[in-house]
Structure 1
Amino acid sequence: MTTAPGGVRASARVLARGDGRGGTALPVLEGEGPLALRRTRGSGAEARVMLVGAMSGPLGGDHFTVDVQARSGARLRVGSAAATLALPGQDKAGARYDVRLTVDDGAELCWLPEQLISAGGSDLRLTTSVDLAAGARLLLREEQVLGRAGEEPGRLTSRLTVRIDGRCVLDQELGCGPGAPGGWDGPAGLAGHRAVGQVVVVRPEFADRPPAGCVYEEGAAVMPLAGPAALVSAVAPDGLRLRRLLDGALASLD
C-alpha cells in the first residue's frame, strides 16, 4: 500500500486452484491497507474468502485494485464483510476501484460482495472486468445504492465487462449522480429508484439450454446473453428490496 497526496493506492490478490484431492487451495491470498483478505470456513470443495474493509474508503483520490484468479479445479466464493462506502475526501479527484476476475476451464467463481453505497459528495469509478474460459462457471452480483438515508447520491460510474473464450458477451456502463449524463434518473433510466443491481450467471449448459428472457417482477428482468450466460437486472427503492428482487429472479433460473 502507498499513500500519496492524491490518495491511497492499495491492492488485493487471490489465486485459487484445485488441490488434486477434490478441494481448493489458495496459494496466494494477499491484501494490503483497506483491502484485507481472510479465508473463512468453506463447504465441500469450495474455498471461501472474505474481503474485510480495514479502513474507510474509497475516498477521493484513492485507487483500489482487486485481482481474483480461479484456476482449473477451483471452486471459490468471494464476499465482503460489509458494504463498501464511497466517501468524499480532501482530494477533489475521483476515486477508482478496479476488479479483475479470471476463471479457467473447469473452475467456478462466485463473486458476491455486499452493496456499494455512493455517499453524497463522493466521486467513484468502478470497473469490473471478467475473463472466462469456455468451460468456466461464474456467479457475479453487483449492487449499488445511491446515497445514504435521506441523502443525495454522489457521482458513480460503473462499468461491467464479461468475456467468454475471448468473446465479449456483456459490456455495460451506468453513470449516476451529479454530473452524470442527463436522463439517468428519468423514466428511461432509474425512474426515481435509488438502488440498482445485476447478477451475471455463466454456466456451460446454457449453450444447449439457454434461459428464457422474462420480467420476474416489476423492476426485475432476466435476459439471456449471446453466450452460455444470463443477466438479471433490477432497480428498487432501497437496497433491501433490490436484494430480494435479484435473489428471486436468480432462483427462477434453476
Structure 2
Amino acid sequence: MDGVRVNDVSATAGIVACDDGRGGTALPVLESDGPLALRRTRASGSEAHVMLVGAMSGPHGGDRLAVRAEVRRGARLRVGSAAATIALPGQIKGEARYDVRLDVADGGELHWLPEQLISAGGSELYVTTRVDLAGTARLVLREEQVLGRVGEQPGRLTSRLTVRIDGRVLLDQELACGPDAPGGWDGPAVLAGHRAVGQLVIVRPEFAVEPVAARMMGEQAVLVPLAGPGALVTAVAADALRLRQVLDGVLAELD
C-alpha cells in the first residue's frame, strides 16, 4: 500500500460518550474517517470501550490526522488502539501531524491508553495532545514513544502534551527527538541512550487534598505530583516491551 500512495491524507475521527441514564455509557457519536477507524468493543460495567484501528499504514509525511473525544457528565470511556502507530516517510517529503483533543466534563472519566508510537527512520511527525478537564473529571492518559524500528535510526519526532483543568494549565511539556532535534535529547539529562520513553498522567480530585509523594519507581521511572489534582509518571526503557512493563507496574501500584 505504501507504494501506491500519492496524495497526503487528512482525516478526523470523533467520539462522544454520555451517561445513558441506566448506569452505563452511551456512544451517540462514533465517527471514523479515512485511516482512522473506530470500533466499539465489549464494555466493562458502566465504562464504554472503544478501539482505534488503523485502516492503512502511516501517518506518512504530509498527512494531517486528528482524533477528538468528548466525555460528558457522568460518562466513563476507555480508548485503546489495536496496534502501534508507525510514523513513516512520505513520497513527498514533509512533516506529518497527529492531533488529539480530549474533553472531559464534571463527573466524567477517561482512560486514554493507545499503543506505542514508533518513529521510523526518515519520518517527520509532530504530535499534539490537548486535554481539557472540568474540576471533578478523572483521567488516566498513557503516551509511549519508540525511537526507530529494530536496527534503524529514528525519524524526527516532536510531541507536545497539554492538560488543563477548568482552563488552568496543569501540565504543558514538549519533547523533540531524532535528527535536527535540539542538542542533548539523547544525553544523560533526557533519554540517556534509551530507545523508548513514556509517561502516565493521572488526574483524580482526591489528589488535590492528598497529593502523591515524589519518588523513584524502580530504576527507570519517576513519579511527581503536579500543581493540582494530578500526578505525572515519566519512564525510559531499552524497548517498547520493557517500557510497558514499567508503566503498567506503576499504574497498578497507584490503583
Asked if these proteins are the same fold (TM beyond 0.5), I'd say yes
Equivalent residue number for residue 49 of structure 1: 50
Give structure 2 stretches of 5+ with no counterpart: none
Equivalent residue number for residue 118 of structure 1: 119
Equivalent residue number for residue 213 of structure 1: 214
**Matched letter for residue 202 of structure 2:** V
3-state SS in 1 of match to 2:254: coil
Deviations 1:203-246 (A, max 9, x none): 11111111111001112010100110000100001011111111
Query: How far off is 1:33 after superposition?
Result: 1.1
3-state SS in 2 of match to 1:7: coil
Give me the whole-angstrom Cα distance separating, in 1, the residues matched to 2:92 and 2:23. 48
Equivalent residue number for residue 159 of structure 2: 158
Equivalent residue number for residue 107 of structure 1: 108
**TM-score (structure 1 length as normaliser):** 0.97
Give structure 1 stretches of 5+ with no counterpart: none
Equivalent residue number for residue 203 of structure 1: 204
Give me the whole-angstrom Cα distance separating, in 1, the residues matched to 2:133 and 2:251. 20
**Matched letter for residue 189 of structure 2:** A
Equivalent residue number for residue 180 of structure 1: 181
Equivalent residue number for residue 132 of structure 2: 131
Give me the whole-angstrom Cα distance separating, in 2, the residues matched to 1:198 and 1:208. 23
Moved more, 60-69 or 210-219: 210-219
**Matched letter for residue 111 of structure 1:** W
Equivalent residue number for residue 60 of structure 1: 61
**Matched letter for residue 224 of structure 2:** M
Could you tell me whether the CA contact under 8 Å between 1:223 and 1:231 is conserved in 2? yes
Give me the whole-angstrom Cα distance separating, in 1, the residues matched to 2:234 and 2:98. 21
Equivalent residue number for residue 87 of structure 2: 86
Equivalent residue number for residue 75 of structure 1: 76
Give me the whole-angstrom Cα distance separating, in 2, the residues matched to 1:6 and 1:75. 37
**TM-score (structure 2 length as normaliser):** 0.97
3-state SS in 2 of match to 1:252: helix
C-alpha RMSD over aligned residues: 1.1
Equivalent residue number for residue 250 of structure 1: 251
- Structure 1 moving runs of 4+ over 3 Å: none
Equivalent residue number for residue 234 of structure 1: 235
Give me the whole-angstrom Cα distance separating, in 1, the residues matched to 2:42 and 2:253. 28
Seq. identity, %: 73
**Matched letter for residue 48 of structure 2:** A
Alignment of 1:140-155 (within 5 A): 140-155=141-156
Give me the whole-angstrom Cα distance separating, in 2, the residues matched to 1:108 and 1:169. 17
3-state SS in 1 of match to 2:241: helix
Give me the whole-angstrom Cα distance separating, in 2, the residues matched to 1:103 and 1:77. 12
